Amino acid sequence: VKRNLIVAACTLGGLIPLFLYPTSHNVSTVNTKLGASAGYGAGSTAGTGSSAAGSSTVTGDPVDTRWGTVQVQITVANKKIIGAQAIQYPDGNRRDQDINSYALPILSQEAVAASSAKIDAVSGATVTSDGYIQSLQSAVDKANL
Amino acid sequence: MQPTDLPTFAAEPPSGPVQFQPRAWVEQIMGMPVSIHVRGPGVRDEHSPEFALVTGAVERAFAGLRAVDARFSTYRADSELCRVQRGEIPPERESEEMLEVRALCQDAEQRTGNWFSTEDPAGRFDPTGLVKGWAVEACALGLSQELNPDDDSASGFDVMVNAGGDIAVRSVRVDTPDWVIGIENPADRSQLLATVPLRTGGVATSGSAARGAHIWNPHNRRETPAYWHAVTVIGPNLTWADVFATAAYAREGDAVDWLAEIPEHVALLVDRDGRTTSTEGPAHGWDPGNSQVPGRHC
């Protein structure tokens, strides 16, 4: 069990952001920042554990995040995480507003063929009505009409 | 622009959980296609009560844009703007919208060191460069507010408005993915230079599809060759992203340094030789305690 706990502790830091921001493309950036500022990780997570038949649960330290305090509990069996849940969670409404407030975006500067990209909108120099007919935006619009 | 040079795209049909799939409406307003996308309960079911609600709100949003066009058009001799330009309306009789736009224009000139200009070559007041972004921002905000009176993230609607390549998004749900905005390569419209995930904010691109285009330089009051092929600015709201993109496009090489000093905005610039440069914004990224929207006009 002790060895399981170490494995679990290493993983806790990585899990917390997943609870926080499950829908965002910004997730990797957010993870890095949270990890650095909150100072948790393999070395600093002093979890408390308990074990049931064949599995054990580990509770991480409460972590202050941008959205409030978060505490995560995971269940481990055979060195694998079989369950995870947030047992302390930021106030719901405040969190919703924060998620949807403007956040400085990270440009993914990778040239891609427009036809292969999964995008919702195209920004470019003013599109005229003629240009629009064969534009990608037109195709995206049509798919959602 | 030669439409025949462009490839024809086929977008994937919508997939995934139903609340992630937007419904799109498109109308031609101000001489350009305006797309409104809404995602939320019932938008893909034409028999749902929500669908009727959303359709009505979208129609009002389009009507609002048409009303702005009627008031600010420089192509309609009877528009309020044309009458203002001809000196037929004394300042105290101008509409609230005209006064609001005048104030924003002053603010914009100040914040761009007059690189954003609302004087036309004849020296008359011409806010055309600001009105579009302002109108589209107000359209997205108004639609979002009408559809989400209770500010309920569980049953609410996310909206996106794209007017000829200038985009405003407003999200309230927490179970939807970010809107993904592609930034077009000005030299090859079949390519995207970058993609941007966004839940709330504006994306504006200034530029010309034609290389070697000339632009009006408000400082020397001349038509000069454009230094940039395209400038895209992303920020908390479209009004200001658009103003900053226009001002940067008019500047030369120092546009990058100038844009980098503007908090909460990110820019991607393409020069005439096709080289791209981006600003990274403040090194600390976003700061939750400092998310004031600059110049919010509502």
Q: Does the beta-carbon distance from B1 to A128 stay under 8 Å?
A: yes
pLDDT level of residue A139 (50, 70, 90 thresholds): confident
Q: Distance between CA B295 and CA B170 in Å, rounded?
A: 17
Determine the pLDDT at residue B59. Answer: 97
Q: Distance between CA B119 and CA B124 in Å, rounded?
A: 5
Both tokens of residue B205? 């691109």
Query: Does the pLDDT value for residue B32 go beyond 50?
Result: yes
Are residues B38 and B156 in contact, defined by beta-carbon separation less than 8 angstroms? no
Segment A77-89 shows an average pLDDT of 68
Are residues A23 and B17 in contact, defined by beta-carbon separation less than 8 angstroms? no
Distance to chain B for A2, nearest Cα, Å: 37
Query: Does the pLDDT value for residue A34 go beyond 70?
Result: no
Q: Does the beta-carbon distance from B165 to A122 stay under 8 Å?
A: yes
Q: Greater confidence, B239 or A29?
A: B239
DSSP lists the bridge partners of residue B151 as none
Residues B134-146 as b/e (b if ≥16 CB within 10 A, e otherwise) read bbbbbbbbbbbeb
Whole-model pTM? 0.71
Q: Distance between CA A115 and CA B7 in Å, rounded?
A: 9
Interface of A with B in 71-130 (CB under 8 A): 93, 95-96, 98-115, 117-130
Distance to chain B for A98, nearest Cα, Å: 8
Q: Does the beta-carbon distance from B162 to A130 stay under 8 Å?
A: no
Q: Does the beta-carbon distance from B164 to A26 stay under 8 Å?
A: no
Query: Does the pLDDT value for residue B14 go beyond 90?
Result: no
Q: Does the beta-carbon distance from A129 to B33 stay under 8 Å?
A: yes
Q: Does the beta-carbon distance from A119 to B181 stay under 8 Å?
A: yes
Contacts of A111 in chain B (CB under 8 A): 185, 191-194
Are residues A91 and A68 in contact, defined by beta-carbon separation less than 8 angstroms? yes
Segment A62-76 shows an average pLDDT of 67
Give percent of chain B above pLDDT 90: 60
Q: Does the beta-carbon distance from A102 to B235 stay under 8 Å?
A: yes
* Nearest-Cα residue of chain A relative to residue B262: A104
For B245-281, write each residue's pLDDT tens digit. Answer: 999 999 988 999 999 999 999 999 999 888 899 996 4
Determine the pLDDT at residue B259. Answer: 95
* Nearest-Cα residue of chain B relative to residue A66: B288
Determine the pLDDT at residue B61. Answer: 98
Among A16, A36, A43, which Cα is nearest to A27's? Answer: A16
Determine the pLDDT at residue A112. Answer: 75
pLDDT level of residue A144 (50, 70, 90 thresholds): confident
Determine the pLDDT at residue B191. Answer: 85
pLDDT level of residue A90 (50, 70, 90 thresholds): low
Query: Does the pLDDT value for residue A27 go beyond 70?
Result: no
Query: ipTM for the complex?
Result: 0.80
Are residues B49 and B42 in contact, defined by beta-carbon separation less than 8 angstroms? yes
> Pairing between strand B179-185 and A121-123?
parallel
Of B14, B197, B230, the CB nearest to A105: B197
For A40-56, write each residue's pLDDT tens digit. Answer: 333 333 445 555 557 77
DSSP states of chain A as a string? -HHHHHHHHHHHHHHHHHHH-TT-TTHHHHHHHHHHHH--STTT---EEEEETTEEEEEPPPEEETTEEEEEEEEEETTEEEEEEEEE---HHHHHHHHHS--PPPPB---EEGGG---SEEE-S---HHHHHTSHHHHHHHHH-
Query: Does the pLDDT value for residue B145 go beyond 60?
Result: yes
Segment B178-207 shows an average pLDDT of 91
